Structure 1
Amino acid sequence: MTPKEVLAQIRQREVTTVDLRFMDFPGVWQHFSIPADALTEETFEEGIGFDGSSVVGWRAINEADLLVVPQPETALVDPFTAQPTLTMICNIHDPITHQDYTRDPRNIARKAVAYMRSTGIADHCLLTPELEFFVFDDVRFDQRSNEGFYHLDSVEGAWNRGRVERPNLGYKPGSGLGYFPCPPTDSLLNLRSEMAQRMAECGIATSAHFHEVATGGQCEIDLDSQSLIESADQVMMARYIIRNVASRAGKSATFMPKPLFGDNGSGMHTHLSLWKDDEPLLAGHGYAGMSDLGLYAIGGLLKHAHALCAFANPTTNSYKRLIEGFEAPTKISYSRRNRAAIIRIPVSGASPRSRRIEYRCPDGAANPYLLFSAMLMAVLDGVQNKIRPGDPLDKDIYDLQPEELAKVPTTPRTLDASLDALRADHEFLLRGDVFTPDVIDTWIWYKQALEIEAVRSRPHPYEFTLYYDV
């Protein structure tokens, strides 16, 4: 929509409130609201000022002011508010220069697309995210000086098979056995269907939804392909819808990568394809039907795999998912079938238009604007420098001899290690001024100071099991 069309819709739908949303640095949607009659055509040009110092990872208190500039093409009526409310995603501008703010994740994504087009390699990058998440019925956690705990519960959790529920009907998927059961074992079908319906009403197309492998309410909803910025926008709106539909049903949805010990974690596998003049660029006659350009793209993702984990797996909890034995992608390799490889080339029919790369590392904690931008920059580096990906990993990793397995590099074991890799390998992200040195430095500082050190300095509950009687 144009600004005039947004204002017309406000009148037609009798909207009373306009909700302005923007992405903070770590990857959480922020918002504030204004009366609908305060929105004018000038607002779309001039923006609205707000305090950027209160947003995590942004301005210092002595230079706090920033502008939100609403983007009319993102306008939609919120399906959850009591009063008719129109929401818009905003870009962030500097109030003095009126230039895009360099730490605005959506701005970074816009620059990544512009850089891709400037290279002449492709004019479109399509992304297809798969959203995995848990739905719990009771969530309690706290951390104080004298206690630290979490407690999660789900009516379908395998740990509740023996609970007195009067009646306990027994339909609770076991650990690692939650994939594709029909109701009543899949107790969340109706909830997921409502989530998908609300997404459709908001213009977000989905291709499938189902119960995932873990017990305790793990679900997946797959989105359709969109261009990079639109895909990131839709990921954020889909997360918003999933959380609110769950909350209305008296449940809690989380995209935390590994909330349950001893069971599968939640990823955000992301499919990528490149296009030019409406022609697919990844299809060819090489391995798994890939073109040379497609294999170079894979080479770029593999070369920068350790650094990419800093954006694909951006929490300390992410690395509790990236361990052996739970179908997590831990091998820095590619394959047409092996899901232990971080890159899979899906078997998706003979049409060249269906050829794509599935990057399996990311999890739901990722900031999609930063993740998708970093993925694209790695792909472009691979194409520009004709980086060969080496041999594929088509063997079952459990059949490999120890000496063979030792030759296959693995994903980092900690967020600390990923940040070290990003510190050593980020030149490819700086091309076209897409990521700036300030963005890289701030990301590393924030993650180390406010997450890694915060977790490191606190006693872990399991340490009491190990050491209390030492």
Structure 2
Amino acid sequence: MTDWTDKLPPAAQAYVERHRLDEVECVIADLPGIARGKAVPATKFATLRHFHLPNSIFYQTITGDWGEAATDGFTEPDMILKPDMATATAAPWAEDGTLQVIHDAFDQKGQPVPTAPRNVLKRVVELYKAQGWHPVVAPEMEFYLIGRNIDPAKAIEPMTGRTGRPAAARQAYSMTAVDEYGPVIDDIYEWAEIQGFEIDGITQEGGAGQLEINLRHGDPVTLADTIFYFKRLIREAALKHDCFATFMAKPIEGEPGSAMHVHHSVIDEKGRNIFSGPAGGETDAFFHFIGGLQEHLPSAVALMAPYVNSYRRYVKDHAAPINLEWGRDNRTTGIRVPISDHASRRIENRIAGMDCNPYLGIAGSLACGYLGLMQEIWPDKRFHGDAYEAEDAIPRGVYAALDLFDAAKDLHEVLHPEFARVYSVVKRAEYDEFLQVISPWEREHLLLNV
């Protein structure tokens, strides 16, 4: 092996020892969370210290069009992308030996590019560290396994399981339902182990073909990297078995949406959870973090629900809270405090959808908590009972969410003002693209009736 492979993480090093390494994929996440980059021969990667991509990759909409976000004309200057070798991991579905490496984006003066989603999350984490705090997160990933869908005009259907029947709905936590797509799950487990990812568990959710993967708690950037990689892993495992995996917030009409719930705690420099006091009780910091979520989450929803489809998930009584109440062990509240001992006391944000960019969804959630800690915001009283009966507290559409986001100057300072400007420009351009598409609903109900 060459010198650079000696410094790989253990799982990647074990993969290289078993496979002839042919290719390295140099990747970075754009605003939607799509992997952009270059694939280079392994021999060439050994001599590379960085490579270049235009900064315009952060101006692209989900359709591949462009938002008018450039301030000095659309000249597309190059960024310098440097590998973070701690992120090196296998691509076990590839026929030839392949590694993936996440890169960080810098401008030509060596400064972090503020519009790069990974840099946004790193910035938020550094603000915590400046206070002597270390944020810890534990994300949950919900997604659907569906039948192959190559016609956008056709409704999405659940995948066909081993019995030859479509996956059934309303079978939450059913082991039999999980067995229906056992071969896909087997590959997810196997490839995750090869890539060095630790899965805390896989469960059947309430939707037809809907699964949830829980990840162990840890560093926010590392966990966002893991979700970024996992989305590709899951898609590849599904394709191997002639189905699709989708992370759309609401892929199937009448079925629950897919969320990315995020659990948060904060550790001080002595390794103590700042949400718990010396005697194990809840601290002011615990309540301030909740208060920050209640105060600032409406302005951050644009990061956690980035598409028109995202808001179809927010339906009462469909496992998607649209309130910002907080409660203990209460899944109807937007902010939940799970059962735990005092050392692992944590706060769960149940608002984010699985369609969000994991770097931006986690950054937005942590930013709200940070503002609560710094501004010493006290939350409303704990909610008792069914919070679906509570008042709606989040925007219900893209434009409303972006209006709140644009006005949230405190949030911009945490995330970076330039990122906030570009994000809003790109998302508004995306919505304008959507408005050019005439939906089946419009043709059915408006064509001959209005």
Please report the TM-score for the alignment, with normalisation by the length of structure 2: 0.89
Instruction: Provide Cα deviations, 1:237-288, integer angstroms capped at 9, x if missing partner.
Output: 11111111111111100000001111101111111110012111112499x9
Counterparts of 1:50 and 1:139 in 2: how far apart (Å)?
32
Q: 1:150 matched to which residue of 2? A: 154
Is residue 116 of structure 2 the alignment partner of residue 104 of structure 1? yes
Q: 1:383 matched to which residue of 2? A: 373
Counterparts of 2:200 and 2:97 in 1: how far apart (Å)?
29
Counterparts of 2:5 and 2:22 in 1: how far apart (Å)?
17
How far apart are residue 203 of structure 1 and its match? 1.4
How far apart are residue 306 of structure 1 and its match? 0.8
Q: 1:137 matched to which residue of 2? A: 147
Is residue 103 of structure 2 the alignment partner of residue 90 of structure 1? yes
Instruction: Provide Cα deviations, 1:313-367, integer angstroms capped at 9, x if missing partner.
Output: 111111000121212111111111332211100113xx22221111000111111
Q: 1:296 matched to which residue of 2? A: 288
How far apart are residue 457 of structure 1 and its match? 2.9
Q: Which moved more, 1:101-110 or 1:3-12?
A: 3-12
Q: 1:436 matched to which residue of 2? A: 416
Counterparts of 1:314 and 1:91 in 2: how far apart (Å)?
23
Alignment of 1:8-27 (within 5 A): 9=13, 12=17, 13-27=19-33
Q: 1:178 matched to which residue of 2? A: 171
Alignment of 1:387-402 (within 5 A): 387-397=377-387
Is residue 396 of structure 2 the alignment partner of residue 413 of structure 1? yes
One-letter amino acid of the structure 2 residue matched with residue 32 of structure 1: K
Q: Which moved more, 1:195-204 or 1:267-276?
A: 195-204
Q: Secondary structure at the match of 1:183?
A: helix
Q: 1:170 to 1:140 in 2, by over 3 A?
A: closer
Alignment of 1:199-210 (within 5 A): 199-210=192-203
Q: 2:185 matched to which residue of 1? A: 192
Q: 1:223 to 1:168 in 2, by over 3 A?
A: closer
Q: Is the 8 A contact 1:301 1:379 kept in 2?
A: yes
How far apart are residue 156 of structure 1 and its match? 4.9
Q: 1:343 matched to which residue of 2? A: 335
Q: Choose from 425, 433, 443 the match for 1:464.
A: 443
Identity %: 25
Q: Is the 8 A contact 1:271 1:358 kept in 2?
A: yes
Q: Secondary structure at the match of 2:180?
A: coil
How far apart are residue 229 of structure 1 and its match? 0.6
Is residue 437 of structure 2 the alignment partner of residue 447 of structure 1? no
Instruction: Provide Cα deviations, 1:36-55, integer angstroms capped at 9, x if missing partner.
Output: 111236x34xx112344355
How far apart are residue 100 of structure 1 and its match? 1.5
Counterparts of 1:172 and 1:228 in 2: how far apart (Å)?
33
One-letter amino acid of the structure 1 residue matched with residue 138 of structure 2: T
Counterparts of 1:62 and 1:335 in 2: how far apart (Å)?
50
Q: Secondary structure at the match of 1:25?
A: coil
Q: Is the 8 A contact 1:374 1:429 kept in 2?
A: no
Q: Is the 8 A contact 2:159 2:166 kept in 1?
A: no
Alignment of 1:247-266 (within 5 A): 247-266=239-258
Instruction: Provide Cα deviations, 1:44-100, integer angstroms capped at 9, x if missing partner.
Output: 4xx112344355448664133122211111112221111111211100122x31222
One-letter amino acid of the structure 2 residue matched with residue 49 of structure 1: H
Q: 2:406 matched to which residue of 1? A: 423
Instruction: Provide Cα deviations, 1:97-124, integer angstroms capped at 9, x if missing partner.
Output: 122211111111222111111123x1x2
State how many pairs are aligned.
432
Q: 2:358 matched to which residue of 1? A: 368
Q: 1:164 matched to which residue of 2? A: none
Task: Give RMSD over aligned pairs.
Answer: 2.6
Q: Is the 8 A contact 2:159 2:243 kept in 1?
A: no
Q: Secondary structure at the match of 2:149?
A: strand
Counterparts of 1:171 and 1:453 in 2: how far apart (Å)?
36
How far apart are residue 305 of structure 1 and its match? 1.5
Q: Secondary structure at the match of 1:31?
A: strand
Q: 2:131 matched to which residue of 1? A: 119
Is residue 82 of structure 2 the alignment partner of residue 69 of structure 1? yes
Alignment of 1:156-171 (within 5 A): 156=160
Is residue 8 of structure 2 the alignment partner of residue 28 of structure 1? no
How far apart are residue 456 of structure 1 and its match? 2.3
Q: Is the 8 A contact 2:33 2:228 kept in 1?
A: no
Q: 1:368 to 1:353 in 2, by over 3 A?
A: same
Please report the TM-score for the alignment, with normalisation by the length of structure 1: 0.85
Is residue 226 of structure 2 the alignment partner of residue 234 of structure 1? yes
Q: Is the 8 A contact 2:158 2:166 kept in 1?
A: no
Q: 2:46 matched to which residue of 1? A: 40
One-letter amino acid of the structure 2 residue matched with residue 449 of structure 1: A
Unaligned runs of 5+ in 1: 143-148, 158-166
Q: 1:279 matched to which residue of 2? A: 272
Counterparts of 1:412 and 1:24 in 2: how far apart (Å)?
24
How far apart are residue 295 of structure 1 and its match? 0.9
Q: Secondary structure at the match of 2:255?
A: coil
Q: Secondary structure at the match of 2:120?
A: helix
One-letter amino acid of the structure 2 residue matched with residue 72 of structure 1: M
Higher relative CO (Cα under 8 Å, sequence separation at least 6) belongs to 2
Q: Secondary structure at the match of 2:151?
A: strand
Q: 2:56 matched to which residue of 1? A: 53
How far apart are residue 289 of structure 1 and its match? 5.4
Q: Secondary structure at the match of 1:344?
A: strand
